Every structure is written in C-alpha cells, then in structure tokens.
Structure 1
Amino acid sequence: MKGFSWFMYTKVFGWKFVGKLPENLKKYVIIAAPHTSWKDFFIGVFAKYALGAKINYIGKDSLFKGPFGFIFRMTGGAPVDRSKNNNLVDAIVDIFNNKEEFRLALSPEGTRKKVERWKTGFYYIAKGAKVPIVMGTLDFGKKQIKFSEPYYPTDDKEKDFAYFHSFYEGVQGKHPELF
C-alpha cells in the first residue's frame, strides 16, 4: 500500500512533502489546513499511506453511514456525533492517555466552509494529553504538504495561535477564498 500510495501522491497527483513527521514521537496531534475541499481528504489519505504513518482522524458521523462508511473506518476514521453536547475533548484525551501510540489529525477550521476563527479543540486535546501539535499544510498552490517541528502548547493561548497562524501564511487551499 505504501508504494502504491507514494506513486499516486508524487507521480499521479504531483504532490511532494516538505519536512517530515516526527519519527521519535508516538503521540501527537496533527492540524491540517487549510481544509477547503472534499479533495483534502484524499490527499491526506494518500499522504498517510505514502509515509507509512499510523494516523487517525475524526469526522461527522454521517460520513460513516451508508455504503461507503467502511472506507472511512478502514482509513483510520472514527465518527463523531456533532449534534450531541458531549465533551469530545475529554474523550479524546482519554484515548491518548490509554494508548501507547496515537496520532490524531484534525482540521483546525472544523469545516470546509470559511470561518472567522479556528476551533480550539485540537489545542485543548494536546494540552490535556500533554502531547505536541504538528502542523501540516494542504497547499494546493505548491502541491505540497509541509510539516512543522512538534510544538508543545504553552499557557499563552494567544501566542500559540499566532504561531500556528503564521505557519500557514501564504498557503493556498483548493478554494483559496475559503481560507
């Protein structure tokens, strides 16, 4: 699967990697942005398999129903019921605390639509689980995914978010007007 995905990602799609995921860390949160198109999912899945990385993700529960739900589960996804008022952050922190190895990819926007502010769940998950955040771009302009070094959130949320946002400056989503 790794060889096929690498071929598809680099030769067929024409994408590349800049930087790499941390090899020495078994637990971290990956934030992938900008998330402006359904195509982001396929780029991310091919990247995951091309890198041979064990990465999980969450998605709205409706994606996991019907004839294609098994594909999302097979690729490391877990459904989330966004209509219920549950404490998803605490539930995911518990997963991190109960697993020896766990990497979770999230979109900080939480949607493909344009948002004024990123969601903060990824930040509180990382803080609660005491794991770093790795930033990854979905840059359709340069056709690349660029990875940051692991970043451990501090107690200064404003400073941390300014740092996150600066990493994504100049990055172009599939639909740039949505980022």
Structure 2
Amino acid sequence: MQITIFNTPILTPCLRLVARLLLKLHGWKVVADERALKLKKYVLLAAPHTSNWDGYFFILAALKLKVNPQWMGKDKLFKFPLGATMRWFGGIAVDRSKANNLVEATVNQYRERDALVIAVPPEGTRGKTERWKTGFYHIARGAAVPVVCGFIDFAKKEAGMGAVMEMGDNLAQELARLGAFYATKTGKYPNDYTAPV
C-alpha cells in the first residue's frame, strides 16, 4: 500500500484534526453519500475545477472523510527532486511506454488492487474549455467501477462526495446525468466552469 498524506501513520490522524479545524474556521461543511464511503474502488470526479483553492478544500474534505484518493501522472513527474512529494500527495507514476494510454494503465491499476480511488478533474484545467475529458468514463467502464461525484461548492461552502453512478454504455446519457448533478454546484469562478454537455 502506498503511503500518502491520507494514510501516514501518526501524522494523518493529526492532519485530520487540523483539517476539521480549518474547515470550521473557513465556515465549510463536508458532506458525503453513505454509499460512497462504503466503496473500496471507484473513480472520484473532482468538479467544478476553477481555482487552485479547489485542491486545498479537496484535501481537507478527503482528510475529514478518511478517503485515500490518488491520481495518475506521467512517470516524468515523479523523478527527483519532487518524486517523493508527488507520491505522498497520492500520485501514481505511469510508464506510458508500457501501456497504450493513460486510461488502459489506470484500468490495470484497478485490476491489480483490492482498494483504489482515483481522483479525476474531468475539466482537465482550471480555465474554460470546450468539454469535459471523458477518460474517467472509459476508466470506470473498463475497470467495472462506479463514478462518485466529488464536488466543491463555493456558493454553499460545501465539499464532499455526492451521487454514486454506474456508467452505462451511452456516453451522452451519462454526461447528461453528471451535468444535472453538477448544475447545482458553483466553482470559485463560475464563468470558468465547463459543463459536461
């Protein structure tokens, strides 16, 4: 098991207390669908993603919920001197020369593990884009795991994990379902949010 900020012995329990305190000081609430908290494998969407503050509140929420999210990145990101730090923040190095693409490599990670939560910001960037990247959908389908709607809502000062969705074979329909969920969530910079459809 990879040691991360979310499961480091002795340190993580202290960080959870700090996270609770910071959330209280910011006036933020963390909420979660009980079904999501019972899952061992799923793709965790991280949206809306319009600011660097999203990552800050995402980490605080994950600590409070005792979730251990990870993310996939090119192995070049994990070289000295930042490699250990990237791994500690949940990064998993992927050698893309050994897999056709990041989706396939991620699916393989799910197949090899008993528990895995991969966080994916489907917008791909903090700025406005044309559409969501759909890698998360193909990962969920390929690994036969559900998608959990992780969210940051600056209007309500809420962060957490919402609906649990099994991805069907119609991408357009699934994006519409996700769009309906995220339509009620507001990023820090609403004009930079890209809806799934």
State TM-score, norm by structure 2.
0.79
Alignment counterpart, residue 146 of structure 2, candidates 111, 128, 132: 132
Corresponding residue for residue 168 of structure 2: 154
The RMSD of aligned alpha carbons is 2.3
Equivalent position SS for 1:147: strand
TM-aligned CA deviation for residue 61 of structure 1: 6.9
Equivalent position SS for 2:46: strand
Q: How many angstroms apart in 1 are the aligned matches of 2:164 and 2:125?
A: 24
Determine if the alignment matches structure 1 residue 33 to structure 2 residue 47: yes
Corresponding residue for residue 56 of structure 2: 42
Q: Work out whether residues 30 and 159 of structure 2, in 8 Å CA contact, stay in contact via their aligned partners in 1.
A: yes
Determine if the alignment matches structure 1 residue 15 to structure 2 residue 28: yes
Of all paired residues, the percent bearing the same amino acid is 41
Q: Work out whether residues 4 and 50 of structure 1, in 8 Å CA contact, stay in contact via their aligned partners in 2.
A: no
Segments of structure 1 that go 5 or more residues without pairing to the other structure are: none
Instruction: Write out aligned runs for 1:1-179 (5 A).
Output: 1-8=15-22, 10-20=23-33, 22-58=36-72, 70-78=84-92, 86-179=100-193
Opposite residue 23 of structure 1, the aligned amino acid is L
Residue by residue over 1:75-134, the C-alpha shift from the partner in whole angstroms, topping out at 9 and shown as x without a partner, is: 21235699xx95000000000000000011110111111112100000000000000000
Equivalent position SS for 1:148: strand
State TM-score, norm by structure 1.
0.87
Q: Work out whether residues 5 and 47 of structure 1, in 8 Å CA contact, stay in contact via their aligned partners in 2.
A: yes
Residue by residue over 1:2-45, the C-alpha shift from the partner in whole angstroms, topping out at 9 and shown as x without a partner, is: 2221221x212221123336232110001011111111111111
Q: How many angstroms apart in 2 are the aligned matches of 1:17 and 1:158?
A: 30
Segments of structure 2 that go 5 or more residues without pairing to the other structure are: 1-14
TM-aligned CA deviation for residue 175 of structure 1: 1.2
* Distance verdict in 2 for CA 1:79–1:23, change over 3 Å: same
Opposite residue 90 of structure 1, the aligned amino acid is E
Opposite residue 13 of structure 1, the aligned amino acid is H
Q: How many angstroms apart in 2 are the aligned matches of 1:124 and 1:99?
A: 18
Equivalent position SS for 2:119: strand
Deviates more, 1:51-60 or 1:111-120: 51-60
Q: Work out whether residues 45 and 75 of structure 1, in 8 Å CA contact, stay in contact via their aligned partners in 2.
A: no
Q: How many residues align?
A: 176
Equivalent position SS for 1:167: helix
* Distance verdict in 2 for CA 1:64–1:46, change over 3 Å: farther
TM-aligned CA deviation for residue 71 of structure 1: 3.5
Opposite residue 45 of structure 2, the aligned amino acid is I
